[in-house]
Amino acid sequence: MTVLDLAEWLKAEVLVVGEGSHRAIRRVVASDLMSDVLLVDDEDMLLLTSLASDQVLRTAQIVGAVGVIVVNGKALPSSMVAVANDLRLTLATCSLPKYEACVAVARALSAL
């Protein structure tokens, strides 16, 4: 399942389609603490977060994430789209709270 498949499942709005959009998600990390995200060693990770900042995208690029989905229907700063485009990173936003988004993602992945 790719980040675009998951975005559709979550009814998320895809703002930027990046380079990793075609890659299969190998792991999902839900965190607002970027220090924790930097400890994840797996490639092709999807990041779910309720933190809406450029630093989320910069962190995701560093760890090679396939994309970022911002949950809780957070209003994203306009700079996030520009940064996602610059870093060629898929960015989506969904209205579900983080826990519910995690449950939905788990269901989606187990349905495969």
| Site map (CB under 8 A) of another protein, residues 6-45, x = contact | --------------------------xxxxxxxx-x-xx-
Which segment (10-18, 57-65, 92-100, 104-112) binds another protein by CB under 8 A?
57-65
Query: Where do runs of H (alpha helix) occur along 11-110?
Result: 34-37, 54-62, 78-87, 98-110
The closest of 34, 39, 109, 112 to 68, measured between CA atoms, is: 34
Q: Under a CB-based contact definition with an 8 Å cutoff, are residues 66 and 46 in contact?
A: yes
Residue 78 identity:
S
Residue 54 CA to chain centroid, in angstroms? 13
Asked if residue 64 binds another protein (CB under 8 A), the reply is yes
Interface residue with another protein, options 59, 70, 90, 93 (CB under 8 A): 59
Residue 91 CA to chain centroid, in angstroms? 6
Residue with smaller CB distance to another protein, 14 or 45: 45
What residues make contact with another protein under the rule CB under 8 A? 32-39, 41, 43-44, 49, 51, 53-56, 58-59, 61-64, 79, 87
